[in-house]
Amino acid sequence: MLRAVRRIPRSVGGTLAASIRHKSTGLKFPASETVVTKFSFPSRTHSITGLLKDAPALEQSQKKVTLQGWIHKKPRKVSKNLTFASLRDTNGDIIQLVDSNSPSMLRSMKPESAVVVEGVVAKQRTAKEGVFDLVVSSSSVLNEANEKGSQLTLGDTKDWPAEYRYLQLRQPQLQAALKLRANAMRASRSVLDNLGFTEVETPLLFKSTPEGAREFLVPTRKRNLMYALPQSPQQYKQLLMASGVHRYYQLAKCFRDEDLRQDRQPEFTQVDMEMAFANGADVREVVEKLVLKIFADTVNKNIYTLDANENLVQQSTFNPMTFKEALGKYGIDKPDLRYTCAITDVSEHATSFNEDFPVCEILHVTKENAPESLDFLSEARQYTNRIPDVIQITEENLSSWNQQVSQFKLDKTLPVSVGDVVLASTRQTTSYENPTPLGRARQLLIKEYPEKWRRQLASGEQLPSIEDTFVASWVIDFPLFSPSSMDSDPEKSQPFPKFDYTQIVASHHPFTMAVLEDYPLLETDPLKVRGQHYDLVLNGVEVGGGSTRVHDSQLQNYIFKEIMKIPNSEKLFGHLLRAFDVGCPPHAGFAIGFDRLVAMLAGYSSIRDVIAFPKTVTGADPMIGSPSAATSAQLAPYHVRVAPKENKE
C-alpha cells in the first residue's frame, strides 16, 4: 500500500540548510584522507605472544603478519635507513619493530599512538638466541597521541595526573590487575553457582537507615522525600530469605560517604551472600571454599592457618580465634598472623594508674629482633591516643627498667636482657580501643621489619616469601554492642579515649544475633553480650564479615527500642519486622570486600590500583570532573537549595 509523503518545499529546505550553516562555530571539517584511514584497517593476525610462539615457523615461511597496538617508546634512529621502535599490544606484551624503509615509516611516530603494522618475523642478530623482531613493510597510524600522551609514558604512573587515568590504565601492570579482578569475579560466580546460590540484584535506590557510616542521599521531585544509596544490601538480602530464596548472592555495589584512605572508596564492591535455614558455621564453610578457589584460580597460591601449636598449616578450613584472644595477644581484632610477635598481660604484677584501663601489658622485643632506632615507635602521629612507653634495656636499667613505666606500676622486674626493648601500656578489660597502643606498636614493628618474627610451617619446609605467605583466621565472639565513642577535643591532649556508656551502638549492625549462652544478658547487661559475628582476617586485613541474623521480630524490636534506643524504629525497619512475622526462616550471611581481596591478590596496598576508575582521597574523579556543580534550575524540581557559605570571621 502506497502512503503519501509530505514534501518540504525547496525554499523551506534551502532556508533550513542555510540556517544550519549559519550556526557553525567555525570548526574546520576534517579532511577525508586524514579520517577515513583511521576507520579502515586490517585485522590482526597474531597477538605478540602468539607471534613469538610461532616465530620460528613464521620466519622460515616469511609469511606476512599483522599486529595492532601502541607505539611503546619514542622510535630510535640508528642510521639513515634504519629505525627501531617497539609495539605494545592489548595484552601488554612488547616486540621490537625494525624499519629499514625509505622514507622511514616509524621514525615520526609518537609514543602511545594507536597503530597497525605489517611485516615479517626475523631473528635479532645481536641478541640472545630465540629473540625475534618484526621487520615492518607497511604501517598505519589509527590515532596519533598528542604531546601529553608522549610525556606520560615516562616515570612512575603514580605521579601521573589523575585526569589521565585512561593512559595510566594502558600500562601492563594495571591491565593485569583488571584481568585479575575479572578472573576473581568469574571464580566467585562459579563457586556460588555450583553450591546452589541464586544471583539476585537488589535495588540501588534505598531509604535512609542508621547503619553506621554517612549515606549518599538522592533527592526526588517530591518535597522532602529522598532515596539513599545502600551501604550494603543487608536488609534486602534478609527480605529475600523471607521471600523463599534459599541461597542468595550478588556482586553488589555499595556506597558510603566516609573519609577515604588506601582501603576505602565512596563506592565499592562486595561479594554478598545470605543462606536460609543456616547458621554461622554453614556460612563459614562456603566462604572457605570460595576464598580458596579464588586464590587457586587467580594467583595459584596457598592459604595457611594456625594449628594447635600456632605453626602454619595448609588445610581446607580456617581455624578460629576469639575477639578476646586477638585483642589480648595481638592488640587488634584483625591480627597479621604471619608473625609471632605477641603481647603479654602482666596485670598480676601491676596496678594501672587509670581504673578504666586496668589491663597492664608489655610487648617484649628480644635483642636479636630489637630495632636499631626506636624513634618510629614513639611518634605521636602514629597513634590515635596515647603512646606506649618504649624502654631500651641497658646495663644501667637492667634491674630497674620497671620504674620507667609511666602508665602502670610494675611491682616485679620481669626477665629481660641488655639490648632488649620493652613496650608497655594499658587497655580496657573489653577493649573498645582498637587497635590498642601495643597493638599499633606491633603493626609498626612488622611494617618496619617484615622479615622478623616470621611464623614457621608446621611441616618444617622452607617458608615462601612474605609476599607469597597468606595466613587466614576467623575472629569470633565479638562484643555485640559497644558504648558510643565521645569526640575528643582536638585542642586538648587526650591520652585515653572516652565512651558514653549510656548510649549503646551495635558493634557491627543491629541485625546480629547474640551468642545463645549470653542471651539473658541482653536484658540485664547488653555490653557483656557476645555476638554471633565472624570476620575473616587475612594477613592483618579484614577481608569480610558476617553473622547469624536475628529473625524473631519481638527480639529485633527489643534491640531497636530498648537497647539501642533508635527513634522511629518502626518507620525505619517496620518492613523487616513484618517480614519476620510471616515465617521468615533462620538465616546467616557474609560479605567479602572484593576490592580489598583483589588488591591483596595483586600485591597492591591500595584498592585504587585494582579499580578501573577510582575516586581520589577527596572523593573526586578529576578525569570526568565529578562531582560537579548543579544549577539552581536543576535543583529547583527537587526542592533543594545550596546553602550560603558560612562567614568564618
Q: What is the DSSP string of 296-316?
A: HHHT----BEE-TTS-EE--S
Paired sense of beta strands 247-255 and 267-276, if any: antiparallel
Three-state DSSP at 18 gives: helix
Is there a domain that residue 221 lies in?
yes
Write down the pLDDT at residue 21: 56
In whole angstroms, what is the distance from residue 11 CA to residue 541 CA?
A: 73
- Ranges of residues in the chain with a pLDDT under 50 are 1-2, 5, 8, 13
Write down the pLDDT at residue 2: 46
Q: What is the pLDDT of residues 248-267, one digit of tens each?
A: 999 999 999 988 776 789 99
Is there a domain that residue 190 lies in?
yes
Write down the pLDDT at residue 1: 46
How many C-beta atoms lie closer than 10 Å to residue 631's C-beta? 8
- Based on the fold, state whether residues 140 and 198 are members of the same structural domain: no
Q: What is the pLDDT of residues 314-334, one digit of tens each?
A: 999 999 999 999 999 999 999
Number of C-alpha atoms within 13 angstroms, CB side, residue 520? 1
Q: Where are the alpha helices (DSSP H) in 590-639?
A: 594-602, 632-635
In whole angstroms, what is the distance from residue 217 CA to residue 227 CA?
A: 6
Q: What phi and psi values does residue 447 have, to the nearest 5 degrees?
A: -65, -40
CATH assignment at residue 103: 2.40.50.140
Question: 549 and 589 in contact (C-beta within 8 Å)?
Answer: yes
Write the CB contacts of 104 (distance below 8 Å, at least 6 apart in sequence): 77, 81, 83
Residue-averaged pLDDT of the chain: 91
Is there a domain that residue 497 lies in?
no
- Based on the fold, state whether residues 180 and 285 are members of the same structural domain: yes
- Based on the fold, state whether residues 183 and 98 are members of the same structural domain: no
In whole angstroms, what is the distance from residue 81 CA to residue 98 CA?
A: 10
CATH assignment at residue 621: 3.30.930.10
Question: 269 and 594 in contact (C-beta within 8 Å)?
Answer: yes
- Range of the structural domain that residue 430 is part of: 341-453
Is there a domain that residue 104 lies in?
yes
- Based on the fold, state whether residues 199 and 117 are members of the same structural domain: no
- Based on the fold, state whether residues 389 and 445 are members of the same structural domain: yes
Write down the pLDDT at residue 147: 82
- Based on the fold, state whether residues 294 and 185 are members of the same structural domain: yes
Q: What phi and psi values does residue 290 have, to the nearest 5 degrees?
A: -65, -50
- Based on the fold, state whether residues 374 and 285 are members of the same structural domain: no
In whole angstroms, what is the distance from residue 217 CA to residue 394 CA?
A: 59
CATH assignment at residue 446: 3.30.1360.30
Residue 464: its H or E element: none
Question: 113 and 121 in contact (C-beta within 8 Å)?
Answer: no
Closest C-alpha to 290, from 320, 317, 311 = 317
- Based on the fold, state whether residues 185 and 259 are members of the same structural domain: yes
How many C-beta atoms lie closer than 10 Å to residue 95's C-beta? 23
Report how many domains make up the chain: 3
Write down the pLDDT at residue 25: 81
Write down the pLDDT at residue 149: 76
Question: 470 and 539 in contact (C-beta within 8 Å)?
Answer: yes
Is there a domain that residue 448 lies in?
yes
- Name residue 423's beta-bridge partners: 363, 390
Measured CA distances, 559 to 105, 476, 478 (Å) = 75, 21, 17
Is there a domain that residue 129 lies in?
yes
Question: 528 and 521 in contact (C-beta within 8 Å)?
Answer: yes
Q: What is the DSSP string of 388-430?
A: PEEEE--TTTTTTGGGG-SSEEE-SPPP--TT-EEEEEEE-SS
- Based on the fold, state whether residues 137 and 97 are members of the same structural domain: yes
Q: What is the pLDDT of residues 160-214, one digit of tens each?
A: 788 999 988 988 899 999 999 999 999 999 999 999 999 999 999 999 987 667 8
Q: Exposed, middle or buried, 178 (CB in 10 Å: 0-12/13-18/19+)?
A: middle
- Based on the fold, state whether residues 357 and 288 are members of the same structural domain: no
Domain-ending residue, one of 127, 154, 181: 154
Is there a domain that residue 512 lies in?
no
- Based on the fold, state whether residues 293 and 178 are members of the same structural domain: yes
Q: What is the DSSP string of 20-41?
A: HHHT---PPPPPHHHHHHHH--
- Based on the fold, state whether residues 370 and 427 are members of the same structural domain: yes
Domain-ending residue, one of 391, 418, 453: 453
Is there a domain that residue 370 lies in?
yes
